C-alpha cells in the first residue's frame, strides 16, 4: 500500500476502507472476466508494483490546473483514443510527444501564458463501448474494450477478457512513461528545436496561412536569445500523464496511501477523468474517484443539466479546491453553442471554479458508408470555436483542449489542409477505436486555437 520511502505518518482506516466502497455500488463498462480468481491475482500483483507517478508531482499538477482554472494557464491534453501494446514503440511515442510539444509552443505564444502539457498516454488502454458485443456477418463476439482487457482480432479467443493483460498494461505504461520522461527531461524538448519543426510545418505551401504566426514566434525567440534567455532552462518541460479512470481492477490496486500525508493517490497517472458513460452520481466510478487526491476530470455531454453539474461539483470537489476538478465538455459542433452557456452561467452563481476544457472529438463522430468511424476536421474546429464563443459570452475562462491525436501520418479524420476525403481514409486507418487527428491536422488545430487565444488575450 505504501508508495514512498518514508513511513506513513497516519492513514485513517476509514479512508482505506472507503477505497473499496465502490464495490457495493452499481458499476458500468467493466469486462466480463471469465476467471475472478485470476483477476484478483493480477490486481494483487499490480498492487505490489512501484507507483508510476509520485504524489508530489500530482500535487504540482493540481496547482498548475488551478492556474488554468483562473485563466492564467492553458491545458493541452492529447493522445490516442486507445493506446495499444504494439503501438508502445519508441517511434510512435516520440512522434506523439513531439506533436504535443509542437502544439504547446504555438499555444503558449497565442495565449501568452504557460501551457500545461498532458498526454492521453502511458495508461490509456481501457475503453468504454456503446455495445457489449460486436457483430460481423453472422458472428457476434464481445466488443474490444482496449488492450488492457482483450484483443482486437475478431476471434473468440482474442475477444475473451484476459487478466494477464492488466499486468501487461502496467508494464507498458511504465515503459511508455519512462521514455516520455527521458524525452521531456533529456534535451528533446529544447524550445529552439521544437520551433524549428514548426517552421517546417508553416513553410509547407498547404499551411501558408500560418506563416505569419510562425514568423512572429520566430521573432519572439530571436528576441529572447538576444536578451540573454537561458535556453538550457528551456530544454526541460513538465509533462503529465492521464487516462480515463475506467477499469477498476487496475485503478484500485494502483491507488496507494501517500507516506507524506496518509492520503490516497492513484499512482497510475497524474490525472484521471471519468467518462461520459460512467459518471452517474451514485455509481462506482464517482464514488471511487472522489476519494483520491489526484485532480479529476469529468466528461460532460450535451444532455448535462446545470443540476447534474452542480451535484458533480458537490460530490467531487466539496472543498472547492483550486485545480481539483476539470470539466471536459464534448457537446458536438452543432450543440455546443446551446448546451454550454447554461452550464457556464450556472457556475457563475456557484462558489466553484472548475477548469473548463473542450473535447471537440467525441461529440462529432460519424461513420462513413464504407464503415469507417471518422470526424470532420471542420466540425472539430467549429466546436472549439463554439467553446471560445460560449466563454466569451458568459465571461468564464476557456481553459484547455482535449484531443485525440497521433504524431503519425494516419488518415482517420476527414479534411484539414491535406484534404483527406472518404476514399483516402482506407489508406492509413490504424486506430482500434476512435479516429485521431494526424500530425498535420494536430498542428493546424494548434495554430487555429492560438489565433483564438490571442484574440482572447487582446480582448
Ligand atoms: O473513445 C470513446 C468510446 O470508447 C468510443 O467512442 C465508443 O465507441 P463505440 O460507439 O464504437 O463503442
Ligand atoms: C470514451 C471517451 O470519451 P467520452 O467518455 O467523452 O465518450 C474518450 O475520451 O475516449
Ligand atoms: Mn475516444
State the closest ligand 2 atom to the C-alpha of 127, by its place in the atom list counted from 1: 1
Q: Which helix (H) or strand (E) holds 52?
A: none
Residue 7: the pLDDT is 57
How buried is 259 (Cβ within 10 angstroms: 0-12 exposed, 13-18 middle, 19+ buried)?
A: middle
Residue 4 has pLDDT above 70, yes or no: no
pLDDT digits (tens, 9 = 90+) for 236-246: 999 999 999 99
Q: Out of 29, 79, 121, 299, give the residue to mutate to test ligand 2, the one with the largest number of ligand atoms within 8 Å of its CB.
A: 299
Q: What is the mean pLDDT of residues 55-59?
A: 98
In a domain, 210, yes or no: no
Asked if 273 contacts 289 with a C-beta cutoff of 8 angstroms, the reply is no
What residues does ligand 2 touch, defined as CB less than 6 Å away?
Answer: 81, 128, 244, 275-277, 299, 330, 362, 434
Residue 5: the pLDDT is 55
Rounded distance from Cα 324 to ligand 1 centre (Å): 26
Rounded distance from Cα 81 to ligand 3 centre (Å): 4
321 is in an annotated binding site: no
362 is in an annotated binding site: yes
Q: Out of 302, 359, 403, give the residue to mutate to test ligand 2, the one with the largest number of ligand atoms within 8 Å of its CB.
A: 359
Residue nearest to atom 10 of ligand 1 (CA): 130
Query: How many domains does the chain divide into?
Result: 1
CATH of residue 267's domain is: 3.20.20.70
In a domain, 208, yes or no: no
- What is the CA angle 388-390-392, rounded to 5? 70
In a domain, 127, yes or no: yes
pLDDT digits (tens, 9 = 90+) for 224-234: 999 999 988 88
Distance, C-alpha 370 to centroid of its chain:
29
pLDDT digits (tens, 9 = 90+) for 35-53: 999 999 999 999 999 999 9
Rounded distance from Cα 419 to ligand 3 centre (Å): 22
Residue 242: the pLDDT is 99
Residue 10: the pLDDT is 80
Asked if 337 contacts 391 with a C-beta cutoff of 8 angstroms, the reply is no
Q: Which ligand is nearest to the CA of 246?
A: 2
Q: What would the grid cell of residue 290 be?
A: 472522489
pLDDT digits (tens, 9 = 90+) for 372-401: 999 999 999 999 999 999 999 999 999 999
Percent of the chain with pLDDT over 90: 94
243 is in an annotated binding site: no
Taking the chain, what is the end-to-end CA distance rounded to the nearest angstrom? 50
Q: Out of 123, 277, 298, 437, give the residue to mutate to test ligand 2, the one with the largest number of ligand atoms within 8 Å of its CB.
A: 277
In a domain, 202, yes or no: no
Q: What would the grid cell of residue 361 be?
A: 472529438
Ligand 1 pocket residue status of 128, Cβ below 6 Å: yes
Rounded distance from Cα 363 to ligand 2 centre (Å): 9
The pTM for the full model equals: 0.97
Residue 455: the pLDDT is 82
Residue 223 has pLDDT above 60, yes or no: yes
Rounded distance from Cα 167 to ligand 1 centre (Å): 24
DSSP 145-174: --TTT--SSSSHHHHS--THHHHHHHHHHH
434 is in an annotated binding site: yes
In a domain, 213, yes or no: no
Task: Judge if ipTM > 0.95.
Answer: yes
Q: Out of 434, 435, 436, 437, give the residue to mutate to test ligand 2, the one with the largest number of ligand atoms within 8 Å of its CB.
A: 434
299 is in an annotated binding site: yes
Ligand 1 pocket residue status of 434, Cβ below 6 Å: yes
Q: Which ligand is nearest to the CA of 130?
A: 1
Q: What is the mean pLDDT of residues 414-420?
A: 96
- The Cα 227–Cα 221 span in angstroms is 10
Residue 8 has pLDDT above 80, yes or no: no
276 is in an annotated binding site: yes
In a domain, 204, yes or no: no
Q: How confident is the model at residue 459 (pLDDT cuts 50, 70, 90)?
A: low
HSE-up of residue 145 (Cα within 13 Å, Cβ side): 26
Residue nearest to atom 7 of ligand 2 (CA): 276
Rounded distance from Cα 263 to ligand 2 centre (Å): 28
327 DSSP β-pair partners? 298, 356
Residue 3: the pLDDT is 52
State the closest ligand 2 atom to the C-alpha of 82, by its place in the atom list counted from 1: 10
Ligand 1 pocket residue status of 81, Cβ below 6 Å: yes
211 is in an annotated binding site: no
Lowest mean pLDDT among 8-17, 262-271, 308-317, 376-385: 8-17
- The Cα 458–Cα 218 span in angstroms is 20
- The Cα 208–Cα 222 span in angstroms is 21
In a domain, 214, yes or no: no
Rounded distance from Cα 149 to ligand 1 centre (Å): 15
In a domain, 201, yes or no: no
Residue 240: the pLDDT is 98
Residue with cell 537561458: 230
State the closest ligand 1 atom to the C-alpha of 129, by its place in the atom list counted from 1: 12
pLDDT digits (tens, 9 = 90+) for 61-73: 999 999 999 999 9
What is the residue range of 139's domain?
13-189+236-458
Rounded distance from Cα 112 to ligand 1 centre (Å): 35
Residue nearest to atom 2 of ligand 2 (CA): 275
Q: Which helix (H) or strand (E) holds 25?
A: none
pLDDT digits (tens, 9 = 90+) for 329-374: 999 999 999 999 999 999 999 999 999 999 999 999 999 999 999 9
Q: How confident is the model at residue 319 (pLDDT cuts 50, 70, 90)?
A: very high
Residue 457 has pLDDT above 80, yes or no: no
- The Cα 324–Cα 303 span in angstroms is 23
Amino acid at each position: 500500500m505504501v508508495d514512498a520511502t518514508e513511513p506513513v505518518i497516519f492513514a485513517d482506516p476509514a479512508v482505506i476502507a472507503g477505497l473499496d466502497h465502490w464495490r457495493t455500488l452499481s458499476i458500468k463498462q467493466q469486462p466480463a472476466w471469465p476467471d475472478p480468481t485470476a483477476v484478483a491475482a493480477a490486481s494483487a500483483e499490480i498492487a505490489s508494483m512501484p507507483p508510476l507517478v509520485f504524489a508530489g508531482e500530482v500535487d504540482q499538477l493540481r496547482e498548475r490546473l488551478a492556474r488554468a482554472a483562473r485563466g492564467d494557464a492553458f491545458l493541452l491534453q492529447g493522445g490516442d483514443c486507445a493506446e495499444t501494446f504494439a503501438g508502445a514503440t519508441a517511434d510512435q511515442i516520440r512522434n506523439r510527444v513531439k506533436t504535443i510539444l509542437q502544439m504547446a509552443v504555438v499555444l503558449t505564444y497565442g495565449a501568452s501564458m504557460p501551457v500545461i502539457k498532458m498526454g492521453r498516454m502511458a495508461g490509456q488502454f481501457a475503453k468504454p463501448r456503446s455495445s457489449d458485443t460486436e457483430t460481423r456477418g453472422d458472428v457476434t463476439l464481445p466488443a474490444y474494450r482496449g488492450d488492457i482487457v482483450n484483443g482486437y482480432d475478431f476471434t473468440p479467443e482474442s475477444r475473451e477478457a484476459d487478466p494477464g493483460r492488466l499486468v501487461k498494461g502496467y508494464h507498458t505504461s511504465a515503459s511508455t512513461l519512462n521514455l516520455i520522461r527521458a524525452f521531456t527531461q533529456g534535451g528533446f524538448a529544447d524550445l529552439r528545436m521544437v520551433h524549428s519543426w514548426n517552421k517546417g510545418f508553416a513553410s509547407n505551401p498547404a499551411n501558408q496561412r500560418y506563416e505569419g504566426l510562425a514568423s512572429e514566434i520566430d521573432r519572439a525567440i530571436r528576441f529572447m536569445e538576444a536578451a540573454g534567455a537561458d535556453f538550457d532552462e528551456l530544454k526541460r518541460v513538465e509533462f503529465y500523464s492521464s487516462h480515463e479512470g475506467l477499469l477498476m481492477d487496475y485503478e484500485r490496486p494502483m491507488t496507494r496511501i501517500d507516506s507524506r500525508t496518509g492520503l490516497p493517490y492513484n499512482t497510475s497517472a497524474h490525472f484521471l477523468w471519468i467518462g461520459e458513460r460512467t459518471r452517474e452520481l451514485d455509481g462506482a466510478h464517482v464514488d471511487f474517484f472522489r476519494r483520491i487526491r489526484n485532480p479529476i476530470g469529468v466528461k460532460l455531454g450535451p444532455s448535462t443539466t446545470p443540476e447534474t453539474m452542480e451535484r458533480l461539483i458537490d460530490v467531487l470537489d466539496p472543498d472547492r479546491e483550486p485545480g481539483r476538478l476539470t470539466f471536459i465538455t464534448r457537446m458536438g459542433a452543432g450543440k455546443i453553442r446551446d448546451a454550454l452557456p447554461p452550464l457556464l452561467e450556472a457556475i457563475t452563481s456557484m462558489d466553484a471554479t472548475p477548469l473548463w476544457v473542450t473535447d471537440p472529438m467525441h461529440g462529432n463522430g460519424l461513420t462513413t458508408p464504407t464503415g469507417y468511424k471518422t470526424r470532420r476536421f471542420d466540425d472539430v474546429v467549429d466546436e472549439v470555436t463554439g467553446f471560445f464563443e460560449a466563454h466569451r459570452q458568459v465571461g468564464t475562462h476557456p481553459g484547455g483542449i482535449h484531443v485525440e491525436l497521433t504524431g503519425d501520418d494516419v488518415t482517420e479524420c476527414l479534411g484539414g489542409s491535406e484534404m483527406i476525403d472518404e476514399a483516402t481514409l482506407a489508406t492509413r486507418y490504424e486506430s482500434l477505436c476512435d479516429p485521431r487527428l494526424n500530425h498535420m491536422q494536430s498542428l493546424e488545430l494548434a495554430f487555429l486555437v492560438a489565433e483564438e487565444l490571442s484574440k482572447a488575450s487582446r480582448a
